[in-house]
């Protein structure tokens, strides 16, 4: 009986190690497939945006057809962002041994809306490192640019109503364990720039409760 038990221990260890290796390979393969799909969808979105822009300027499409294309773009953008969220999660699973722990301001995506001065946006936060405790704190998101030739900074809260409850000009609350998108629910937020405002960058500062503040500056792009 003792011999059987001694033989069973390394066998069980080997089986467990083999299962972990196979599980890791499956996650890696899933991540790579998702990355390919996301890249292909991003290219399709760019092509569709270009076609709609050309059609709108040249009035080559009927209004109904053009509106259908715009709705298709919106749906594809939302689906693509959900894929990006899943990819970010997989990156955390596949690389949990980061030497840095804390909050990561992952992205601020911006796309033109249907009317002049209107845009759709999505802000995504994630965590890095092994720590599994919930992260919470406040964001200060400012759009920097110029208004009628003068330097101007506008808080995101003044430009959009699609922010978490309790948001102010200098504090947008967040609380999450792995990922958080603003707005949530897989949808894109709407923002409107005032007439004459030319955006240049988005400046984001995150004050994390019990942790270090994180800042990121993102150049404004509307494609």
pLDDT tens digits, residue range 75-86? Answer: 666 666 666 656
User: Based on the domain organization, do 7 and 80 belong to the same domain?
Assistant: yes
Residue 171's pLDDT is 97
Question: What Rg, from alpha-carbon coordinates, does the chain have?
Answer: 23
d(CA 201, CA 220): 5
Percent of the chain with pLDDT over 70: 54
Domain ranges, residue 126: 103-219
d(CA 179, CA 177): 6
User: Based on the domain organization, do 81 and 109 belong to the same domain?
Assistant: no
The answer to whether the Cα torsion of 33, 39, 42, 47 is positive or negative is: negative
Structure tokens at 41: 């969808």
Crossing angle of the two packed helices 2-58 and 63-94, in degrees rounded to 10: 150
Q: Is 188 exposed, middle or buried (0-12, 13-18, 19+ CB in 10 A)?
A: buried
Last residue of a domain, one of 94, 114, 136: 94
**Number of folded domains that form the chain:** 2
Last residue of a domain, one of 41, 68, 94: 94
Q: Is 197 helix (H, G, I), strand (E, B) or coil?
A: strand
Least confident of 54-58, 100-104, 166-170: 54-58
Mean pLDDT is highest, among 15-29, 57-71, 135-149, 175-189, for: 135-149
Residue 4's pLDDT is 40
User: Based on the domain organization, do 115 and 215 belong to the same domain?
Assistant: yes
User: Based on the domain organization, do 184 and 211 belong to the same domain?
Assistant: yes
Can the peptide bond before residue 131 be classed as cis, meaning omega within 30 degrees of 0?
A: no
Q: Which of 208, 186, 72 is nearest to 140 (CA)?
A: 208
Structure tokens at 162: 């699609």
**Mean pLDDT rounded to a whole number for the chain:** 76
pTM of the model as a whole: 0.61
- What's the mean pLDDT in 175-189? 88
């Amino acid at each position: 009986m003792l011999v059987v038990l001694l033989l069973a221990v390394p066998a069980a260890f080997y089986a467990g190690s083999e299962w972990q290796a196979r599980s890791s390979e499956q996650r890696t393969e899933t991540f790579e497939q998702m990355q390919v799909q996301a890249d292909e969808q991003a290219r399709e979105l760019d092509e569709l945006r270009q076609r709609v822009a050309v059609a709108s300027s040249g009035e080559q499409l009927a209004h109904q057809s053009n509106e259908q294309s715009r709705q298709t773009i919106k749906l594809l953008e939302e689906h693509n962002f959900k894929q990006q969220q899943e990819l970010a999660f997989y990156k955390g699973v596949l690389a949990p041994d980061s030497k840095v722990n804390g909050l990561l301001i992952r992205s601020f995506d911006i796309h033109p809306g249907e009317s002049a001065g209107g845009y759709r946006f999505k802000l995504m936060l994630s965590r890095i490192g092994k720590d599994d405790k919930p992260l919470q704190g406040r964001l200060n998101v400012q759009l920097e640019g110029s208004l009628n030739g003068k330097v101007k900074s506008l808080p995101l809260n003044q430009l959009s109503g699609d922010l978490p409850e309790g948001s102010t000009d200098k504090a947008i609350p967040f609380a999450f364990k792995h990922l958080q998108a603003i707005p949530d629910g897989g949808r894109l937020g709407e923002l409107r720039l005032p007439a004459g405002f030319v955006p240049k960058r988005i400046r984001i500062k995150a004050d994390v409760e019990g942790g270090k503040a994180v800042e990121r500056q993102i150049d404004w792009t509307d494609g």
